[in-house]
Amino acid sequence: MTGELRVPPHSLQAEQGLIGGLLCDNSVLDKVPPMDDADFYVWEHRAVWGAATALVTAGRPADVLTVAEVLRQRGQAIGCGVDEPADSAEAAGQTRAYLQALLESVPNAAHATEYARLVLESSRRRRVIAAAEALSAQAWGKGQVDTDAMIDRAVTELLRLQDGQGGYEPQDLQPLSLAFIDALERRASGETDAMPTGLRALDRLTAEGGRRGEVWVVGARPSNGKTAFSLSLCRSVARRNRVLMLTQEDSLQMLTARHVAAAGGVNLADIRNPKHAPDNMWSGVTEGIELLQPLQVSMCDQPSLTLGDVRRHVQHVKRKHRDCAMVVIDYLQLMTGEGDNRNQSLGALANGLKQMAKELNTWVVLLSQLNREADKRTGPPQMGDLRDSGDIEGAADLIMLLRRPYLLSRKEADKPLLEAHVCKHKNGATDSLRFCFDGARQRIGDWADDEGVQ
Written as tens digits, the pLDDT of the chain (454 aa) is 455 678 899 999 999 999 999 999 998 887 888 788 889 999 999 999 999 988 888 888 999 999 999 998 888 888 765 555 556 778 888 889 999 999 888 877 888 889 999 999 999 899 889 888 888 888 888 777 777 777 777 777 776 676 555 455 567 788 878 888 888 888 788 888 899 999 999 999 999 999 999 999 999 998 898 999 999 999 999 999 999 999 998 999 999 999 999 999 999 999 998 888 888 889 999 999 999 999 999 999 999 998 888 988 998 898 889 899 999 999 899 998 877 788 888 888 888 899 889 988 999 999 999 888 888 877 888 888 887 666 788 889 999 999 998 888 888 888 899 999 999 999 999 999 999 999 889 999 998 753 433 3
| Cα distance between residue 119 and residue 115, in whole Å | 6
| Cα distance between residue 250 and residue 422, in whole Å | 26
Pairing of strands 443-446, 431-438: antiparallel
Question: Which has the closest alpha carbon to 66: 82, 79, 53, 85?
Answer: 53
> Residue 421: what residue type?
H
> Residue 29: what residue type?
L
pTM of this prediction exceeds 0.95: no
**Domains (ranges, CATH) in the chain?**
12-117 (1.10.860.10), 194-446 (3.40.50.300)
| Cα distance between residue 22 and residue 52, in whole Å | 8
